[in-house]
Structure 1
Amino acid sequence: MMAIAKLKRAVAAAFIVLAALMAPGPSGAQTAAADYSFAQLQQASKSGNIEAMSYLADAYYDGEKIAQNHALAADWYRRAAELGDTYSQTNIGYMYENGYGVPQDDAQAFAWYQRGAASGSVVSQNNLALYYEKGRGTLRNVNEAQRLYREAADAGYALSQYNLGYLLAYEDDVSQNLEEAVRYFRLAADQGNAQAQAELGYMYERGIGVPIDYTQALYWDQQAAAQGNRQGQNNLGYFYEVGRGGVEANPAEAARLYLASAEQGFALAQSNIGLMYLDGNGVLENYAEALRWFMLAAENGNANGQTNLGYMYENGLGVLKNIDTAIDYYQLAAAQGNETALSNLKVLFNAGQGG
C-alpha cells in the first residue's frame, strides 16, 4: 500500500491584513460620543467642530444613532481629515482602501495613510507599511515597510509587532533575524494578538529563533486557539493527537480542533481532519468525509491534501479507483516538494502505471 502524507504542522502563518481601523477610535472617543445625541453631533459638525465630525462619521459608519451610511461616513471622515484630524485621516484611508462609501482607490488610501502616519497614528503607520510591503498604491519598498512597522511596533502597536516579526522571520528581501522576530512576536502575543501567539507557538515547537520548548509551544497554541485562531487550533490539535507538551494524547480533542480550524478554511487542518476520518482516529471512520476534506485542502493548494487525495483515488477509497487522477494529484503535490507524493509517483511509474 502506498504511503500517505502524515505531515501535521503548519508552515509560516498567512500575513495579517490591514488593521480593523474603525473599531477602536481615539482613546475615550466612543464614550464621549455616546454622551451626545445625533442631532447635537450633526449641529456641532456643521459648525466646524473637528472632534464632532469624527464622531458623526463613526455614527454613520457603525449605524449607531442613525441608519448606516458609508458614503456620509466617508464624507465626514474626509472633512475632519482635511482639517488635520489624525484619526479621520487613518479612517478615510481605510474607506478608500476597501471602497466603503467611495470608489476603491489604493492611491488615495496610500496618500491618506501617509498623512496619518506623519501625524503619528500607529494604525496609519502599520497600514502604510503594508502598502509599501505589498507595492500597493506605490512602488514596493520593504525597507520602508520595515521602518514603519518598527516605528509603530516600538510605540506598542500589537499588529505592527506581529507584522515586523513576520517580516524579520520570513521576508526574503529583509535580513533575517529570528531572535528579533521572536521578540516582536512575544510583544504582540503578550498583548493578546492571536496570530502572534500561534506563530510563537510554532517557533517554540520547531526551535526557530528559540530552543525547542514543547511546553511553551503548547501554551501559546492554547492561547491562540482560545481566541478561535485557525492556525493555533490546528497546531494544538496536533499536540493532542500525538500527546506532546504535557498533554495526554486525546484523538477526539485533536479531531475537534482540526475541524474547527478546517471549517475556517485552514488548508493543513482540512488535510488533517481528513486523515482522522480516513483512519477513524478520534471520529468514526468515514471515507466520504475524508475525501471531502482532502478535496478542500487540495483546492486550497495544500500539498498534503493533494497527496492524500491522490491516495484515495489510487486505492478507490470513497471514490472510484482512478490511477490517472491519482497521478495528477501526486504530481501537484510533488511540484511543491512533497516527498510522499514523489515516492508514490516513483512506485507507480516503476510498476508501469501512468506516464
Structure 2
Amino acid sequence: MRLACFAIAFVIGFCRVAAADEAQNAAFVAGCDRAAASPFDASKPAGIAGIPVDKIESSSAIAACQWAVQAAPTNDRVVMQLGRAYLAAKNYDAARMQFDKANRMGNVLAATELAGFYQKGLGGLPVDDTEALRLLRKAADSGSYIAQTNLGYFHQMGRGGLDKNENEAGRLYKLAADQGYASAQINLGTFYQSGRGGLPRDDLQAARYYKLAADQGNAFGQNNLANFYRDGRGGLAKDDTEAARLFKLAADQGLAPAQANLGKYYQDGRGGLAKDDVRAARLYKTAADKGDAYGQSLLAFFYESGRGGLPKLDTEAARLHRLAADQGNLASQDALGGFYENGRGDLPKNEGEALRFYKMAADQGFAAGQYHLGCFYEGGLGGLRKDESEAARRFKLAANKGYAPAQLSLALYYEQGRGGLAKDDNEAARLLKLAADQGDAKAQAELTELNKRLPK
C-alpha cells in the first residue's frame, strides 16, 4: 500500500515537473517569436506582428532564440528565427547554418533566405544562381509569396540558367501581389506602367498596386505613387501636396530616389514646402552618396551655380555629372556635353566628345540634347557636316517639348527662311512668345522687334 502511494505521488510529481518544463519551453519559444519572427511567416502565433531583419535587436534575439532552439529543437520556425537573429548581427556563417537546418526541416522561409545567400555568395557559400533557383522553386511551389516574387525576378532577368521571360515573371508577381506582398505589388505596378510581362500598359492598375504597397509603408510604393500624384497619372488628380507627403515618407525611410525627389520639391518650393536650397542640397547629397543618378545630377547643377550653400565648383560638378551620365541620366549626359564643348571642370575642350554626349541624350528624346545637337549641325561642329535642315529638324523636336532656347532658334529660322523652312513671321512670333513667356530675354527682345514689323 505504501509502495502504491509512493508510485502515485511520484507520477503526480513527475507530471507537475513535466508541465512546468512544458510551460518554460513555451515561454522560450514565445520569447524567440517576439524577438525575431518574420512579418511574412504565416505560422507565427496570433498577436505577433514580426520584425524586419534590420529592426531586430540582434544580441537579445540570438539569446532568446538559442534558448528556444534548445527547448524545442524540432520547431523549424524557431530555428529559422535564430537564423534571422544571426543575419541581423551580420554573422552570415551562423545564419546560413540555421537557415540550412530549418530548410531541411521543411521551412519555406528558410529556403528563401538560403536562396538569397546563394545569390550573393554569403555565409561561405559560392555564388550559385542554379542552387538559388532550385530553392526558390521549392519555396514558391509551397506557396511562399516571397519566393514567388524572387523567382519572378529570376525569370525577368534570365538568371539561374533561365531564359528571360517577362510573361512568367508577371504571372509570378501577380500571384504574390494578390497575396498582399508589397515588393511584388511594386514589380507588378511597374510592369503595368510600362506594358511589360504580357500586361497592357495601364496606369490605373499601376497606381492601384503602388497604393496597395504604399499603404503598407513600402518606400518604393510611396515614391512611385508620389510620382503619379506629381504628374497626374493613373486616374489621380495632380496633387503636389500629396506627392510631397509621400516623398517625405519614403525619404525618411532612406530611399535615395525619394530623397532626390523631395529635394527637388524644396528647390522649387512645391507641395506646400517653402523654397529651401540648403535642405535641397542636403537631400541631393544624401541620395548622391547612395549612388542615385538623379540625386547626383541635381547636386552637380548646384555645384555648377554654387547653390544651396555649396561652393561653385566645376570639377565636382563634372565628376557628379559623369557618375549620373554613366547610369543613363539624360540631363547629365547633356550637361557633360557642355563641359566638353567648353573645356570646363578640368575636362579638355573636345567637340567630338561633346557631340557624343549631346547625341546620347538627344537620341533618347531629351530636349536640351536635341537642341544642342541642332546647334552642332548648324555650325558644322564636332566633325559634323554643316546642315541647317537637320538643325531645324532638331530644333523643332526640342521646341515641341517646350524648350525655350530651341523655340527661339526655330523662330529665327522661320523669320529668316532658313533650314528649308518657308519664311513665316507669324510662326516665328508664335514661337518667340512661347519662349518669351518662359522668361527668355533674347526671345522677349526679338519678339518686340518682330511685332514692330508685323501688320497691326
Fold in common (TM above 0.5): yes
Could you tell me which residue of structure 2 aligns to residue 346 of structure 1?
Answer: 411
- In the TM superposition, residue 110 of structure 1 has moved relative to its aligned partner by 3.3
Larger mean Cα displacement after TM superposition, 153-162 or 283-292: 283-292
- In the TM superposition, residue 322 of structure 1 has moved relative to its aligned partner by 0.4
Task: Name stretches of at least 5 consecutive residues in structure 1 with no aligned partner.
Answer: 1-25
Contact 2:355 2:376 in 1 (8 A): yes
Q: 1:103 to 1:277 in 2, by over 3 A?
A: closer
Indicate the percent of aligned positions where both proteins have the same amino acid: 37
Aligned positions of 1:172-211 closer than 5 A: 172-173=233-234, 174-209=236-271, 210-211=273-274
Contact 1:33 1:55 in 2 (8 A): no
**Distance in 1 between the 2:396 and 2:206 partners?**
37
* 3-state SS, counterpart of residue 245 of structure 1: coil
TM-score normalised to the size of structure 1?
0.79
Q: 1:304 to 1:36 in 2, by over 3 A?
A: closer
Aligned positions of 1:321-332 closer than 5 A: 322-324=386-388, 325-332=390-397
Instruction: State which of 298, 306, 329 in structure 2 corresponds to 1:235.
Output: 298
**Distance in 2 between the 1:295 and 1:132 partners?**
30
TM-score normalised to the size of structure 2?
0.63
Could you tell me which residue of structure 2 aligns to residue 149 of structure 1?
Answer: 210
- In the TM superposition, residue 79 of structure 1 has moved relative to its aligned partner by 1.8
Q: 1:142 to 1:312 in 2, by over 3 A?
A: closer
Letter in 2 for 1:308: H
**Distance in 1 between the 2:318 and 2:166 partners?**
42
Q: Deviations over 1:119-164 (max 9, x none)?
A: 4432123223333434444455544433432332233222112111
Could you tell me which residue of structure 2 aligns to residue 73 of structure 1?
Answer: 132
Instruction: State which of 193, 203, 220 in structure 2 corresponds to 1:133.
Output: 193
Larger relative helix fraction: 2
Instruction: State which of 351, 362, 378 in structure 2 corresponds to 1:287.
Output: 351
Contact 1:313 1:322 in 2 (8 A): yes
- In the TM superposition, residue 326 of structure 1 has moved relative to its aligned partner by 2.6
Q: 1:143 to 1:297 in 2, by over 3 A?
A: closer
- In the TM superposition, residue 195 of structure 1 has moved relative to its aligned partner by 0.9
Q: 1:243 to 1:57 in 2, by over 3 A?
A: closer
Letter in 1 for 2:360: L
Aligned positions of 1:246-285 closer than 5 A: 246-283=309-346, 284-285=348-349
* 3-state SS, counterpart of residue 110 of structure 1: helix
* 3-state SS, counterpart of residue 293 of structure 1: helix
- In the TM superposition, residue 181 of structure 1 has moved relative to its aligned partner by 0.9
Larger mean Cα displacement after TM superposition, 81-90 or 188-197: 81-90
The count of aligned residue pairs is: 330
Could you tell me which residue of structure 1 aligns to residue 182 of structure 2?
Answer: 122
Aligned positions of 1:76-115 closer than 5 A: 76-101=135-160, 102-115=162-175
Q: 1:332 to 1:176 in 2, by over 3 A?
A: closer
Letter in 2 for 1:167: F
**Distance in 1 between the 2:208 and 2:155 partners?**
24
Could you tell me which residue of structure 2 aligns to residue 218 of structure 1?
Answer: 281
- In the TM superposition, residue 62 of structure 1 has moved relative to its aligned partner by 3.3
Could you tell me which residue of structure 1 aligns to residue 374 of structure 2?
Answer: 310
Contact 2:362 2:369 in 1 (8 A): yes
Letter in 2 for 1:178: D
Q: 1:114 to 1:297 in 2, by over 3 A?
A: closer
**Distance in 2 between the 1:265 and 1:36 partners?**
37
Contact 2:96 2:114 in 1 (8 A): no
Larger mean Cα displacement after TM superposition, 218-227 or 310-319: 310-319
**Distance in 2 between the 1:261 and 1:300 partners?**
15
**Distance in 1 between the 2:200 and 2:381 partners?**
50
**Distance in 1 between the 2:356 and 2:163 partners?**
39
- In the TM superposition, residue 179 of structure 1 has moved relative to its aligned partner by 0.8
Letter in 2 for 1:338: Y
**Distance in 2 between the 1:40 and 1:190 partners?**
31
Contact 2:99 2:113 in 1 (8 A): no
* 3-state SS, counterpart of residue 35 of structure 1: helix
* 3-state SS, counterpart of residue 176 of structure 1: coil
Contact 1:92 1:109 in 2 (8 A): yes
Contact 1:323 1:353 in 2 (8 A): no
Letter in 1 for 2:183: V
**Distance in 1 between the 2:202 and 2:176 partners?**
19
Q: Does 1:166 align with 2:232?
A: no
Letter in 1 for 2:224: N
- In the TM superposition, residue 347 of structure 1 has moved relative to its aligned partner by 2.4
RCO greater where, 1 or 2, for CA within 8 Å and sep 6 or more?
Answer: 1
- In the TM superposition, residue 63 of structure 1 has moved relative to its aligned partner by 4.4
- In the TM superposition, residue 304 of structure 1 has moved relative to its aligned partner by 0.9
Q: Deviations over 1:226-267 (max 9, x none)?
A: 222221122112212222222332233323322322232212
* 3-state SS, counterpart of residue 153 of structure 2: helix
Q: 1:113 to 1:348 in 2, by over 3 A?
A: closer
Letter in 1 for 2:260: A
Q: 1:336 to 1:84 in 2, by over 3 A?
A: same
Q: 1:78 to 1:177 in 2, by over 3 A?
A: same
Q: 1:105 to 1:169 in 2, by over 3 A?
A: same
What is the Cα-based RMSD across aligned positions, in Å? 3.1
Task: Name stretches of at least 5 consecutive residues in structure 2 with no aligned partner.
Answer: 1-51, 54-82, 421-456
Larger mean Cα displacement after TM superposition, 251-260 or 63-72: 63-72
Instruction: State which of 375, 393, 401 in structure 2 corresponds to 1:336.
Output: 401
Letter in 2 for 1:116: A
